[in-house]
Structure 1
Amino acid sequence: MPNARIAFPERTDVSTLMSFAKELDYYSQHDRLIIDMPNKVFCGPFAMLLLGAKIRYLKEKCKNLHVIFDNWDSLPYLSHMGFYDMCGFVHGNAIGQAPGNSRYLPITRLRSEDLVEKPTDQFEEMQDLLQRSVDRIALVLAHDQYENRDLYDVLGYALREVLRNSFEHGETNRVYYCAQYWPTSNKVEFAACDFGVGVRRGLSRNPNFRFDSDKKALECSLLPSVSGRTHEPRRSSNWFNSGYGLYMTNRLARNGGNFVICSGSSAICMTPKTKANFVTSFPGTILRVNLNVGQIGSVQDRLAEFREEGKEIAAKIKGSGNRPPSAMSLLLRRDYAPSNRGRR
């Protein structure tokens, strides 16, 4: 097919991003796709990951498609954050190359093998090793784990559950993340994505949760006690799959912020008062957690509140098994210590 030229979105609200991600599929059959970059655009962590991952996927899937960015030097921030490398181009910083600081973390790749940092780590559970990495990320954005304890706690919890979800359910060994803190508005956003099997296929491992659409699967995944593995034997007393991770995370995010999840042909955006569905196209799964720092409050109190509400909801879900939330899906890092639980 002939060449095509499209404009990079100048708005990066959820609706615009989802439409653009779907529109890109149409151009995958062309020989050459030129993407015109605007002179100015606000592009947060979620937008960078979503578009970077989608363009990278198309380039790898469609070997005859030649993608060109026109005017890409107009947005040096994207180059600095590793966006073009995420897209599959050698331009600007590589993924994870930018040093990051207390205001941002660039697009970074985390592989399961990266979690093993010393010989004794091979005897630890993956989730404990993941928590160690998550603690470092949370500390960068929270600045001080004691002075900004609530922010540190909510970041540590939400990041752990989001990244854990990719490794445990996405059937992938790598995940990408990016984060930004805006002190003026007192907001934090982090996003994570993977090129795994997606939510619908992940849930389908459980015969009770096999859906005929990505939309149904996404909506169900955000309910308590819903998981593709809740029917499986428990392999760990601390980290078994109770299906509460995404439920608790989206509830924390909506406590003054918002939560977005996208997989396959569907996406959901949830705020404290609204829920919106979008038709889109994304390989794997991508999530966004947007927090209003001033409205976080006591994370322990919020988790206790959401846990009780979750139990009532789970009791009404057919096939959930109504398992109680696993200990680690409810507790924060400071409430347990691996060294005190004995060697497994």
Structure 2
Amino acid sequence: MKIYAPESGDPQQIAKFSYDLKRYETSDELVVDFGGVRFVTPAWCVLVGGLLIQFRKSFPGVRGKAINFKHLGYAAHVGFFEYFGVTFGQKPDAAPGSETYAPISVRKTEDVRRLAMARSVQVGDVLHDEAEQLATLLTRADTGDLQDTLAYSIREILRNVVEHSQAHEYVFAAQYWPGTGVVELVVADHGIGLARSLQENPNLFISDDEVALRNSILPGVSSKAWKKSKRHDEWANSGYGLFMTANLSAVGGAFFLISGAKMLTKTNDDEMISPFAWNGTAVIMRIDANQIEALSAQLSRLRDQGSAFERQLKKTTIGPSKASTNAKPSSWGKTK
């Protein structure tokens, strides 16, 4: 049986693809036709590839085949096909990257922890360093509002994966389009998902994926935020990372948070929930560099807004961790 790959990186198209795959769970063969694909983005590469990996692991008895994909040179270059098992193009992490893109990259969470231990630093410090390098790579600058915003946002997303997902690895890719000033970053894992993670917090009632998504972008919400933490710990699990990241991305851009059976979409004007089928958690950030205010002002405003909201609900007394409110970057340095 044949299924058509999404035509573009529109998350709604990818969501439809995730549910269309369910119709092939009892088939003898799954043929994925890439002939209609017109515009490939980092989110398209990581999520479509991840969905095909997810399908193969869940239904190993279904034979897989890809057709009509030779025109997708960008996807091949950044490691998309090798990522999900088709011998074509580069492997993940193989492409050198440039000032405008980072290829599909796979990181083992245990390697991150081991590196932090070897350097006698916090996990957040290791992740911030890679986040800063990615931000500099994508913006062609090591300073400025966009670079600071990206470094902060990428760091917070990666930290959530390592500290909360229980995933063995995570995947990311990014692209900066200088002509439009748009940046897209995607980070995904196949861990336990937001609902199971947040259910570890006894102060939260997380009944399903939608409730988990809506709660996860509120200030002070975390699977660990209910525990008392030492104030001097810069990387305390205070639950402000996704709140800050979602609101920064929504300024002239968009933020997509996917976990389990649902996807949350947040822009400046709207917030909506739609169906998805993803085992784990994925984040898509789209930032319009032309509409970003100074990062320090954004973070200060969001910190004050988040603290006020948290005090009103009395969910925790930990407050924002220093890492979630500090804008200063770290100094560590085949078929057809």
Whole-angstrom distance in 2 between the partners of 1:107 and 1:76: 14
Query: 1:315–1:9: structure 2 CA closer, same or farther, 3 Å change rule?
Result: same
Q: C-alpha distance in 1, partners of 2:115/2:304?
A: 39
- Provide the TM-score with structure 2 as the length reference: 0.93
Structure 2 gap segments, 5+ residues each:
none
Residue 331 (str. 1) matches residue 326 (str. 2): yes
Aligned with residue 154 of structure 1, among 135, 149, 164: 149
1:303 is the counterpart of 2:299:
yes
Matched, 1:164 2:159: yes
TM-superposed CA distance for 1:286, in Å, is: 0.5
Rounded to whole Å, the distance in 2 between the matches of 1:112 and 1:263 is: 19
Indicate the residue corresponding to 2:141 in structure 1: 144
Deviations 1:250-300 (A, max 9, x none): 011011111000000000111110112111100110001101011112100
Match of 1:72, SS state, is coil
3-state SS of the aligned residue for 1:34? strand
Mapped partners of 1:299, 1:7: distance in 2: 41
Partner of 1:201: helix, strand, or coil? helix
- 1:118, 1:330 → 2: CA distance? 25
Residue type at the aligned position of 1:205: E
Residue in 2 aligned with 1:282?
Answer: 278
Pick one of 147, 172, 180 that aligns with 2:175.
Answer: 180
Question: How many residues end up aligned between the 2 structures?
Answer: 332
Runs of 4+ in 1 over 3 A off after TM superposition: 112-122, 336-339
Look up the match of 1:58: 55
Q: Structure 1 residue 294 and structure 2 residue 290: aligned?
A: yes
- Give ranges in structure 1 of 5+ residues lacking alignment: 340-344
Q: Counterparts of 1:338 and 1:322 in 2: how far apart (Å)? A: 31
Distance 1:208 1:88, change over 3 A: farther
| RMSD of Structure 2 on Structure 1 (CA) | 2.0
Query: Under a length normalisation based on structure 1, what TM-score does the superposition of the two structures give?
Result: 0.91
Matches of 1:231 and 1:118, distance apart in 2: 28
Cα displacement string for residues 6-52 of structure 1 (whole angstroms, at most 9, x for unaligned residues): 11122432222111112212212211011111254112111211111
User: Which residue does the alignment assign to 1:267?
Assistant: 263
- What is the deviation of 1:113? 4.5
Match of 1:81 among 67, 78, 82: 78
2:8 aligned with 1:24: no
Q: Distance in 2 between matches of 1:195 and 1:60?
A: 11
Q: Percent identity?
A: 29
Instruction: Tell me the distance in 2 between the aligned counterparts of 1:119 and 1:265.
Output: 33
Residue type of the alignment partner of 1:284: G
- Is 1:8 aligned to 2:5, yes or no? yes
Tell me the SS of whatever aligns to 1:29.
coil
2:185 corresponds in structure 1 to 190
SS of 1:273's partner is coil
Q: Residues 37 and 74 of structure 1 are in contact (CA less than 8 Å); yes or no, is this contact kept in structure 2? A: no
Tell me, yes or no, if structure 1 residue 49 matches structure 2 residue 46: yes
Contact 2:27 2:62 (8 Å CA) reproduced: yes
